Structure 1
Amino acid sequence: MTFSLNVENESPSRTTLHLHGRLDAQTFNEFDLAMLDVLPGLPEGGTVVLDLSALAYISSAGLRSIAKIRRTMRARNGHTLLLNPQPQVRKVFDIVKAVPLNEVFANAQELDEYLDHMQRQITGDEPASHS
């Protein structure tokens, strides 16, 4: 199994990367090179969503690639969020504590609710809680 990447520019400030196959020692360089084209196109404060639903395997080389994306985005006041990780891939992240759990989402609805909440906090449109 090889690696492939599909890039979806959902808005000027949000790009979703659909990772397919294996992100490992043989494929991480291809991914890193693609990021040299993708990340500079995002504005300050932008968001990269890594859709991992079709990623079957990740090695330490793949983890380093994702860590580089997170560092780059953080340096630009942006965010890196993980979506739909397969159980075996999620387990790797859990074991190495590579990504805070509040940045991993089970599905697109959960991600959209989080992004909506974050935007409402910034614009001051957050509804009052009813406790």
Structure 2
Amino acid sequence: MALNLRIDPFSPRRSTFYLEGRLDAMSFGQFDQEAEKLLQQMDVGSTLVLDLSALDYISSAGLRSIAKARKAMRARDGHTLLVNPQAQVRKVFDIVKAVPVKEIFQNLRELDEYLDRIQRKIANEGEELE
């Protein structure tokens, strides 16, 4: 599945950026370009909300892109809020926050394989519960 992006509503003070699909090595460039355009239009001290409710998967490349957007917002005295992550995506953020990645994985490919297994497992468990 590709990455679909939507901004609604746009405001120079607070905008919500909706991510749908996969934010990975194939789609992070698209996210980076759209985020850069959006950030250029936002006021100093503004808030960027990333709605992750329809984001099914995130890789290390996606994590770097979100970190890059957060860094750009901080440089503008702004804030970035992540809302509504699906369980498998939330787990990736928990893993990265809890354990320094460079101490566990040999390379980014190994990290992405691990993140893929975790997200598939959690997504499949959710299907069984329904």
Match in the other structure for 2:101: none
TM-score after normalising by structure 2: 0.73
TM-score, structure 1 as length reference: 0.72
Q: 1:1-131 alignment to 2 at 5 Å?
A: 1-97=1-97
- Structure with greater helix percent: 2
Q: How many residues align?
A: 98
**What is the SS of the residue equivalent to 1:9?**
coil
What is the Cα deviation at residue 10 of structure 1? 4.8
Identity of aligned residues (%): 62
Question: For residue 18 of structure 1, what is the amino acid of its counterpart?
Answer: Y
After superposition, the CA RMSD in angstroms is 1.2
> Greater share of strand residues, 1 or 2?
1
Distance in 2, matches of 1:12 and 1:36, equals 14
Quote the Cα distance in structure 1 between the aligned partners of 2:41 and 2:6: 15
Structure 2's unaligned 5+ residue stretches are 99-130
Alpha-carbon distance, 1:11 to partner: 3.3
